[in-house]
Chains A and B, each alone.
Chain A
Amino acid sequence: MTTTSVIQWGLWVLLLWPQHLAGSTPLDCRDDQGNLSRCTSISQEKLLDRVIHHAELIYRVSEELSSLFEELFIPFPFRLQSNQAAYSCITKALPIPSSKSEVQQISDKWLLHSVLMLVQSWTEPLIYLQMTMERYDHAPDMLLNKTKWVSEKLSSLEQGVVVLIKKMLDEDTLATGYSEQGVVQNEVQPEVLESVLRDYTQLSCFKKDAHKMETFLKLLKCRQTDKYNCA
């Protein structure tokens, strides 16, 4: 087996050898000016821009999602203020800088890792949230679509951050695949106020964390260009 597999592997290598010899010709690879340029890999700058763009979108949609949910399901007395939801967020235990001063002191490496941690920690809850929302009786399609969209984009963001870490820090980090088993299924009946409130809290927390992600990434970008003048 080993010899044959080695031979097969060798064959594949041989087959693919001309490919390496010939080199790769870029196709449809353009920089921002529209000039055809040889792009074997995406530049770090572009990558960071795309990641930031991603994070911005996620934050915006999460904001819409949260306000929509609040309008639909949450009675007035229970509506949270902006500074109240932090206590019950699931990510409060993460070693993430929470104040501005801390953020300024943290290094680039830790910034990136913080972002990655945030993203990875929200992957599963969002899927769960998506599932619970589908069980709501009066949830409009728009709500469901937005939730689905956010979860998808979040996973994509995770991959982007991984690539970015690899590029910037030369570290190999594997994207943690979410495990189905990690999802905690609540037995609580849907539309009971408590569960609804819990979902509402989740969305609010996610909105805050999305904003954090965006802020960290933008700070990182600022540090790339002007290290000493970033807030």
Chain B
Amino acid sequence: MKKVGEVVLLWLLILFIQNAAGEGYSPPGKPTNISCRSPEKETFTCWWKPGSDGGLPTTYALYYRKEGSQRVFECPDYKTAGKNSCFFSKNVTFVWVNYNITVVATNSRGRAFSDPVDIDVVYIVKPNPPEEVVVNVTEDKDWPFLQVSWKPPKMADTRSGWITLFYEVRLKLENKNKWEEVSAGQRKTLQIYSLRSGGTYEVQVRCKPDHGFWSEWSPSSRVKVPEYFPQERSMWILIVVFAAFILVIFIWMVYMNFHSVKRYLLPPVPGPKIKGIDKQLLKSGKSEDIFSSLVVSDFPPTTSNYEDFLVQYLEVYVPEERELIMDEGKDLQDDSFKTENSTCDNDSGRGSCDSHTLLTDKGGGDKEDGQQSDQEGSQAEADTKSQEEALEEELLACSHENLQSSNISNEKEKVKSWPSLFSPLPQYSLSPVNRPNPPKTGQQHCLSDSLFTPNSMPSYFTQPGPSTRKGFRSNYWECSFDHKQSHPLHPQSAAHEHLQAQNDLNTAHVDYMGAPLDVHVLNVRPSEYVEVQRVSVEDGVLLHPISPSQEDSRTLSHQTEDYSRVRMVNNDNGLLLLQRDAIEEEKSMCPYQEDVVSRASITPTLQNSVTGINTALPILDEMAASGYIDTATMFGLPTH
């Protein structure tokens, strides 16, 4: 009967549970959050979170069932692991099967069952933190490092291999917040380098099985790193020594190349360009004498002056001219030679070269130009300007050739120049003109070719006429106009156009040589113009008296070379003078090469062939006196 009563009571309880009638007290809430952990894979503990107790004292019970079996067991130990926990000892822990765990909350009102949980012991292993963490600061030649060592937690049986643990170390500076983590694998020691000198570090270690959870971090171990930086000091010393070594080498190099460096940094000051200024006077310091030469009574030059010049020039052209030129050259010789002897570059910056050459060339150039212009005016009017273009390309060297029936372009220029020069001198024009050098555009012309005949000057004039009609005219006009602005010999319009260029041409011509030089100069200088021929013509012209052919050719060739670089014309003076030497060189250089007859080679020639310059110089002086410093005026000089 009692039993029946019990049964009835139980049924009533069940009804109560299922109906869940509330009378102020209620059945307990469902336990939740069942979590189990095993520290060493031999035992494990489960915790649960109790629900509301419904106002009544509630008891909790944990039941588990092994996988594959329906037999239900109750937790063997509720106490070892604390409140709301169940501890499974070694005897009841199996790694072979899963556990199905349920927690039941019971009070007088009812029961509550938690959700069941499946447990595999191997996968819930969370070991204890490693123990005996020792951190040492090891000194290694002023590079200290940390040596961290630890032991596995006692419970974990790593010795037999039952559990395999992986370790991780983290450290941070004491006053910072950022941890740096380093993995240590299965080792039990670790070295940490790159420490901050004088800093204090905190070190912690944790471990994890191959399947499982990370343990908690071990308690911090503090260590202080001693201060060190001698390594940095030694590095600085090394850097300083190296820099000093490099500096010494640099100074030595500068010392060895002192002069070239000095020249590069402080280019020599060009001498005075003003005609009439005598260096000696400057040195003596007599200002009156110095400036008196500067005063040009008849500036601006008038046409009459030009006429005079022209006439003078004509005189010079004839062998007599040579003497005149030479005489004149003597005066200017010093200046010219001095300057020419100095290092003359093609660059315009080297005024020293230009100045003297200008001085020497001007006298002859003007004359030549005038002559040429006269002749050209009559003959080369037909020349077109188009040739100029071609001539430009041709450059200097071929001026001679043109004259001698070689390249047209150069010759054209030269021829053009010739006309300008020789126009006032019909006699001159004869010989050079006689030389028909059909201008050939696009061909190199060596002055040498055209200069072969002593009467190259006249031939030049003539040749340019027919051959370089196109270009000649322009060149011619250019040349003539440059030299003599008021020169009436070039009525053609083309001249106007080339005025500007002619100036350059003139200068070029003048520089190049006396008479022939001028031609060269004209041809060469006006790189804008294809007046190289002109120059060559001049060269030829100039050279006739002396040994024109070769010289002319030389100069011409040189001019052709220099065509690209008018400046080179300056050296023509020297070339012309040398004539033979220069011409040969130029001849070799004719073939449209950019061989540049070194000015050095030319300058010596200048010295040797003073005569030509001398003759040219007086002309130049006259030209200078007129106020023209154009190189074109110099043309007359280099004729010899």
Do A and B pair up? The answer is yes
Nearest CB in chain A to that of B34: its residue: A27
Partner of A41 from the list B90, B98, B113, B122 (CB cut-off 8 Å) is B98
Q: Which residues of B sit under 8 angstroms from A51, Cβ to Cβ? A: 96
Which listed residue (A4, A19, A30, A39) contacts B98, Cβ 8 A?
A39
In the bound complex, residues from chain B placing their C-beta under 8 Å from that of A22 are: 115-116
Interface 0/1 of B91-112, CB less than 8 Å to A: 0001111101010000000010
Contact B95 A160, beta carbon cutoff 8 Å: yes
Check A42–B160 contact: CB distance below 8 A.
no
**Alpha-carbon separation in the docked complex, A29 to B124 (Å):** 8
Q: Is A28 in the interface zone, CB < 8 Å from B?
A: yes
Of residues 139 to 189 in A, which have CB atoms within 8 Å of B's CB atoms?
149, 152, 156, 159-160, 163-164, 166
Residue numbers in A under 8 Å from B100 (CB-CB): 24
Question: With the chains together, A164 CA to B67 CA distance in Å?
Answer: 12
Given the interface pairs A22-B115, A27-B117, A41-B67, the reply to whether A50 lies near B122 with Cβ below 8 Å is yes
A102 interface residue per 8 A CB criterion: no
Q: Does B120 contact A (CB under 8 A)?
A: yes
Q: Is B3 an interface residue (CB 8 A)?
A: yes
A residues near B (Cβ < 8 Å) are 4, 7-8, 11, 14-16, 18-19, 22-30, 32, 39-42, 47, 50-51, 56-57, 60-61, 149, 152, 156, 159-160, 163-164, 166
Bound CA span A159–B76, Å: 20
Near A by CB (< 8 A), chain B positions 143-175 give 160-162
- Do A42 and B34 form a contact, CB below 8 Å, given A4-B3, A22-B116, A29-B119? no
Q: A39-B98, A50-B122, A156-B94 are in contact. Are A7 and B7 (CB under 8 A)?
A: yes
Alpha-carbon distance A42/B113, docked complex (angstroms): 25
Given A27-B34, A27-B36, 5 further pairs, Cβ under 8 A:
A4-B6, A29-B123, A30-B120, A40-B67, A160-B94
Does B211 reach chain A (CB closer than 8 Å)?
yes
Whether the Cβ atoms of B68 and A166 lie closer than 8 Å is yes
Interface residues of B in 1-37 (CB under 8 A from A): 3-4, 6-7, 10, 14, 34-36
Set of chain B residues within 8 Å of A160, measured between Cβ atoms = 94-96
Q: In this complex, which of A14, A24, A25, A166 has the most chain B Cβ atoms within 10 angstroms of its Cβ?
A: A24
Least CB distance from B419 to A in Å reads 102
CA distance A39 to B115 in the complex (A): 15
One of A11, A18, A50, A163 near B14 (C-beta < 8 A): A11
Most buried by A among B6, B7, B100, B116: B116
Shortest Cβ distance from B213 into chain A, in angstroms? Answer: 9
Minimal beta-carbon separation of B65 from chain A (angstroms): 9
Which residues of B sit under 8 angstroms from A164, Cβ to Cβ?
96
Q: Which residue of A18, A23, A156 is within 8 Å of B113 (Cβ)?
A: A18
- CB of A27 within 8 A of CB of B160, answer no
Q: Closest residue to A56 on the B side, CB-wise?
A: B161
Inter-chain contact A27/B118, CB cutoff 8 Å: yes
Chain A contacts of B111 at CB under 8 A?
Answer: 15
Bound together, the chains give a CA A15 to CA B61 distance in angstroms of 14
Q: Is B94's CB under 8 angstroms from A40's CB?
A: no
Which of these, B4, B68, B116, contacts A25 with CB under 8 Å? B116
21 residue pairs A–B, Cβ–Cβ below 8 Å: A4-B4, A15-B111, A15-B113, A22-B115, A24-B117, A24-B118, A25-B116, A25-B117, A28-B119, A29-B123, A30-B120, A30-B123, A39-B98, A41-B98, A50-B95, A51-B96, A57-B162, A61-B160, A149-B160, A152-B90, A163-B96
Given contacts A14-B14, A24-B116, contact A42 B96 (CB under 8 A): yes
List chain B residues, Cβ under 8 A from A15: 111, 113
Question: What is the CB-to-nearest-CB distance from A152 to chain B, in angstroms, rounded to a whole number?
Answer: 7
Decide if A25 touches B118 in the complex (CB within 8 Å).
Answer: yes
Whether A32 and B211, one on each chain, are in contact in the complex, defined by CB atoms closer than 8 angstroms, is yes
Shortest beta-carbon distance from A21 to chain B in Å: 11
List of B residues within 8 angstroms of A152 by Cβ = 90
| A166 CA to B69 CA, complexed, in Å | 11
Q: Contact: B102 with A19, CB < 8 Å?
A: yes
Q: Quick one: which of B14, B36, B115, B161 contacts A57, CB cutoff 8 A?
A: B161
Shortest distance from the beta carbon of B20 to any chain A beta carbon, whole Å: 13
Q: How far is the CA of A24 from the CA of B115 in the complex (A)?
A: 7
Q: How far is the CA of A47 from the CA of B455 in the complex (A)?
A: 122
**Quick check: A25 and B10 within 8 Å, CB to CB?**
no
- Provided the pairs A30-B123, A152-B90, A156-B94 are in contact, do residues A163 and B68 lie with their beta carbons within 8 angstroms? yes
Shortest CB distance A85–B (Å): 24
Q: What residues of chain A lie closer than 8 Å to B94, measured between beta carbons?
A: 156, 159-160, 163
The answer to whether A27 and B119 touch (CB under 8 A), given A4-B3, A18-B113, is yes
Contact among A4, A18, A39, A163 with B7 in the assembled complex (CB-CB below 8 Å): A4
Query: B120 and A28: CB pair below 8 A?
Result: yes
Bound-state Cα–Cα, A16 to B104, Å: 10
Residues of A within 8 A of B118 (CB): 24-27, 29, 39-40
Q: Which residues of chain B from 50 to 70 have a CB within 8 Å of any chain A CB?
A: 67-68
- A162 nearest CB across to chain B (Å): 8
Cβ-defined contact, A29 with B98, below 8 A: yes
By a CB distance below 8 angstroms, the chain B residues around A159 are 94, 96
Question: Closest Cβ of chain A: how far from B468's Cβ, in Å?
Answer: 95
Q: How far is the CA of A83 from the CA of B227 in the complex (A)?
A: 65
Q: With a CB–CB cut-off of 8 A, which chain B residues contact A156?
A: 94-95
With a cutoff of 8 Å between Cβ atoms, the chain A residues found around residue B67 in the complex are 40-42
From residue A2, how far is it (CB to closest CB) to chain B in Å?
Answer: 11
Max count, chain A CB within 10 A of own CB: residue among B3, B96, B111: B96
Contact B36 A28 (CB under 8 A): yes
* A19-B116, A50-B96, A160-B95 given; A28·B123 CB < 8 A: yes
The answer to whether B68 and A41 touch across the interface, beta carbons within 8 angstroms, is: yes
- Complex CA distance for A133 and B270, rounded to whole angstroms: 116
CA of A151 to CA of B120, assembled, Å: 23
Residues of A within 8 A of B34 (CB): 27
Q: Which 8 A-B pairs have the closest CB atoms?
A: A27-B117, A160-B96, A163-B96, A26-B118, A24-B116, A28-B124, A4-B3, A41-B67
* Cβ contacts B224-250/A at 8 Å (1 or 0 each): 000000000000000000000000000
Interchain nearest-CB distance for B100 vs A (Å): 6
Q: Taking CB as reference atom, which chain B residue is nearest A11? A: B10
Complex contacts, A24 vs chain B, CB 8 Å: 100, 116-118
